[in-house]
Structures are given as C-alpha cells and as structure tokens.
Amino acid sequence: MDTTKATTAFAALSQPTRLDVFRLLVQAGKTGLLAGEIGEKLNVRQNTMSANLLVMLNAGLIRKTREGRGIRYFADMPAMADLIGFMLKDCCGGNVDECKPFLEQVACKC
C-alpha cells in the first residue's frame, strides 16, 4: 500500500452510498451480493449503483465474479487490511505492545 492507493481508497469511501455499499458487502461476507441485490437493499437505481461499484472496483476495495447474467460483488478484505495496516504503520512509535489492544479490537471476528 502506498499513499496514492490509500487516498484513492479513502476518496471512494468518502461518498455515503459507496460507504454503505462497502459496509453491506462486509456484512455479506464470503457470499457477497449480486449488483441488483445491493441496489435493492440500499434503494439505489441500477445506473447509479453501477457507477459507484466501478469507483470502488478501481479503488481496489471490492472484487467481482460473473454468475450467469449477474455480477456478484465482495468486499476485498485483504485490501482493507492493507489499508488499515498502512494507516497504522509505525503506530505508537513502532511499539507493537501499545497498539495491540486497538488491533485486537478492529480484527475481524469472522
């Protein structure tokens, strides 16, 4: 992760619909959601959702797979871990023991 990739990811998440999409995909876990399901759950029109999903794909926050005529989207958790790792690099002056309680709090429990 570098500064350019991190700022691209944060810019993508700074829009409310995209933040909602990411959180929804995190909640969906390994099963992900079809594009239409995401739009329905968030009450967002298809063309608007497609544009938002493209921004998130380009930022590396989500990934997709084709399922017949549909596309299933997933939160890219390794990419999010890289982003969090980038933000916490050298946390507490490099003293891992001081950061450990925080890191345990944000660790995925899935």
78: three-class secondary structure by DSSP: helix
> Which H helix or E strand runs over 76?
none
40/48 Cα distance (integer angstroms): 12
- Which amino acid would we find at residue 64? K
Q: pLDDT grade, residue 85 (50/70/90)?
A: confident
Q: pLDDT grade, residue 109 (50/70/90)?
A: low
In CATH, the architecture of 3-106 is: Orthogonal Bundle (1.10)
49/91 Cα distance (integer angstroms): 36
- Which amino acid would we find at residue 22? F
The pLDDT mean for the chain works out to: 91
Question: What pLDDT digit, counting tens, does each position of 12-53 carry?
Answer: 999 999 999 999 999 999 999 999 999 999 999 999 999 999
99/34 Cα distance (integer angstroms): 37
Can you give the C-alpha Rg of the chain in angstroms? 15
